[in-house]
A and B are shown apart, each in its own frame.
Chain A
Amino acid sequence: MSDLRNAGTGWQERLVSAYKSFGLPRMIIAGMLVVLLIAAPLVGANFWMQITNVINRFSWNSVLVLAMVPMVHSGCGLNFGLPLGIISGLLGATISLEMGFTGPMSFVMAILIATPFAILFGIGYGWLLNKIKGGEMMIATYVGFSSVSFMCMMWLLLPYRKPDMVWGYAGTGLRTTISLEGYYDQILAKFLQIRIGSLVIPTGSLLFFAFLAFLMWAFLHTKTGTAMTAVGSNPVFAKAAGINVDKMRMLSVVLSTWLAAIGILVYQQGFGFIQLYMAPFNMALPAVSAILIGGASVNKASIANVIIGTILFQGIVTMTPTVMNNAIHMDISEVLRMVVSNGMILYALTRKTEAKS
């Protein structure tokens, strides 16, 4: 009996502390999602289809959100320079296709080819971020933008020749969107796919994310991973303990960039298209706000934050259009997404970080 009561108070305490660590904005967003879930069947939307959509979007985006984790851990802040990693992924994808790989092999080769690019870009990006400690986020944003606009020129100039990738009339210059039909469209999603009525689960994509998330989790439990976390928590402490702070930060940036490259490939296999030119431009902000919604702060993030954040964020993004449309015949989902995601980033930026002062 007394055991039971103890368990009860323990549960309550945990709820209170969970609430405190969760923060008000996250509560509001979680509440919104619950309301949407309840409202969906009421306004006549197919509930299981909604769930399928959310899971699908989760499987597309989760790796991109995971790419935030290493840099947050090493104290480099939120990786607004995500587009740089995405570009490595795009290079991998287009070169793999150009070389004539098809089917699953094209996906594997895309990853393999993207890797050296991601490492190279990551090293340059990390070197820059080490020179400007303290101002990482703003510069990361603009490094991302500059590299995207630079690649816009490259997509036109690089000698791509494959007919289904280049503009038909000119014979050169990549198209803005390239269909992955016959290449790696749905390659992960179709693997061990489960269908129950209208509920479809892209098992392969989820497993792939789980695998990467496991690797990330495992890395953070190794000696090097521990050192990286310490660097983020207090760089001076780490320096006094003999850690090469710059090297750790560099490693984290390379990891983030590589994960972003993989992330965009996973996104493409779900979406079915490669999007070039200005498309990577706005991919950083959703990933940043997703991990923040998941409970991360500017200098702390966990795998759980990634999973919760991606579900909440993608849940809101996918469900509001249908529910809103069905309910009030007004699609304010785009506006809502903008306000919620940027509001969340603002909230995180205005929190005091204790390690800093």
Chain B
Amino acid sequence: MNKKQNNASGRLLNFLGENSVPIMFVIIVAICIPISGFSPKFLLNEIITRMGRNVFLILSLLIPIMAGMGLNFGMTLGAMAGEIALIFVSDWQIWGIPGIILAMILSIPISVVMGIMCGKILNASKGREMITSYIISFFTNGLYQLLVLYMMGSIIPIIHSSIKLPRGYGIRQTVGLLNMRQSLDNLLALRIAGVKIPVLTFIIIALMCLVIVWFRRTKLGQDMRAVGQDMEVARDAGIDVERTRIISIVISTVLAGFGMIIYLQNMGDMATYSAHSQIGMFCIAALLVGGASVDRASIGNVFLGVVLFHLMFILAPTAGAKITGDTMIGEYFRVFISYGVITVALVMYETKKRKAKAGMGHLLEAAQREEEKANA
């Protein structure tokens, strides 16, 4: 009886320990909701909008985690590919659903090329993939600006001057996607008690989740899991480790490209030079808030993460203002939380890795004592 109880409380502690990050966020959110004074309807509406906007992007992070390459800070590359595709599509004035589909198709080759580049660099820096992918995103941002700010309109033909800078080349700070705005979300949209549900977007997301579940059961998915856990063993078994890793990054980049297009069609305009710069950080933070770690993440983590992280995001400025009287505090607080949660996740991952390596001296000592007792 007693033992059973111990076991149960032990399991509870274990559960709390493993899910400490989501639980902490549930508490933060629970405290902030009454302080902020938002109505439940408003919050529900916001959450549903933001889910439709962000989930696809975050899903793109799952596959590199499966392949043992950690949090793919290089997903920004896919976001850039999506943006380049959107620039062309809006220049050609193809709007609505056809525009979105065309942009997605157009983003694929760009994403693939960038993904291959990123994958090759990451293969050359095994063991420090995360810092490398992080720097790659900065590096590629330079190339992106070179392309969009200087080559578009001068070398690459851009027809419409509405998206060009007044100087004659380069793309404007913002590209309006008004004619495309929420066309995905509005098709088949439902309104239940004043809450708008973008059914089509959710169907796409659900399909994507199914694809990921299916992918895990394919040969390639199995190979990725093997490579992710032990590259040497996988190589000895005849799996092409390098190629598998590159494929995982390419898939992630392509999905991030799609995700960015879904994200931007919801926003309705595109900040050409800054839309992608923070996206990686917010997606990663949301995933981690959902309870994922550097080496393990599930679809459940994605949804839980989006809800909790974005609730915090909506609530923090207002709650902060109510408490301190300064709106900026809340703004900074949510940025701090985003970075803080990534820091904590990284620290937990590294300490766990080290703990796993720690020896079993105490076992030896115990065995020895046992032996002495037996002898005595």
Contact = CB atoms under 8 A, between A and B. Distances in A.
Interface in A132-156: 132-135, 137-139, 141-143, 145-146, 149-150, 152-153, 156
B2 interface: no
Contacts of B339: 142, 145-146, 149
B142 to A, nearest CB: 3
B367 interface: no
Contacts of B146: 332, 335, 339
B131 A142 contact: no
B271 interface: no
Contact of B324 (A143, A157, A346, A349): A157
Contacts of A350: 121, 124-125, 132
Chain A: number of interface residues, binned into ranges:
35 or more
Contacts of B349: 135
Q: Which of A133, A149, A173, A356 has the most B CB atoms < 10 Å from its CB?
A: A149
A349 B132 CA distance: 7
Interface string A314-357: 00000000000000001010111111001101100110000010
A138 to B, nearest CB: 4
Interface of A: 80, 128, 131-135, 137-139, 141-143, 145-146, 149-150, 152-153, 156-157, 173, 285, 330, 332, 334-339, 342-343, 345-346, 349-350, 356
Interface residues of B, number: 40
Interface of B: 121, 124-125, 127-128, 130-132, 134-136, 138-139, 141-143, 145-146, 149-150, 324, 326, 328-329, 332-333, 335-336, 338-340, 342-343, 346-347, 349-351, 353-354
B328 A156 contact: yes
The B contact surface, by secondary structure, is: helix
A137 B136 contact: no
19 contacts: A134-B354, A135-B346, A145-B343, A146-B340, A149-B339, A152-B332, A152-B335, A156-B324, A173-B328, A335-B142, A338-B139, A338-B142, A345-B135, A346-B121, A346-B135, A346-B139, A349-B128, A349-B131, A350-B124
A339 B139 contact: yes
Q: Which of B132, B143, B339 has the most A CB atoms < 10 Å from its CB?
A: B339
B134 A138 contact: yes
Given A131-B351, A132-B347, A338-B142, 18 more contacts: A132-B350, A132-B354, A134-B127, A134-B353, A137-B128, A137-B131, A139-B347, A149-B339, A156-B326, A173-B326, A173-B328, A338-B139, A342-B138, A343-B139, A346-B132, A346-B139, A349-B131, A350-B124
A150 B336 contact: yes
B332 A349 contact: no
A178 B36 CA distance: 33
Contacts of A346: 121, 132, 135-136, 139
Given A141-B131, A335-B146, A349 B347 contact: no
A133 B328 CA distance: 36
B352 to A, nearest CB: 10
Given A156-B329, A156-B332, A132 B134 contact: no
A285 B141 CA distance: 14
Contacts of B350: 131-132, 134-135, 139
A332 B139 CA distance: 15
A349 B328 CA distance: 37
Contacts of A153: 329, 332-333, 336
A135 to B, nearest CB: 4
Q: Which of A153, A173, A339, A356 has the most B CB atoms < 10 Å from its CB?
A: A153
A142 B346 contact: yes
Contact of B135 (A146, A337, A342): A342
Contacts of B132: 346, 349-350
B149 to A, nearest CB: 7
Q: Which of B329, B332, B335 has the most A CB atoms < 10 Å from its CB?
A: B332
A285 B138 contact: yes
Contacts of B124: 350
B329 A141 contact: no
B68 to A, nearest CB: 14
A335 B131 contact: no
Contact of B343 (A139, A335, A342, A356): A139
Contacts of B127: 134, 356
A154 B190 CA distance: 44
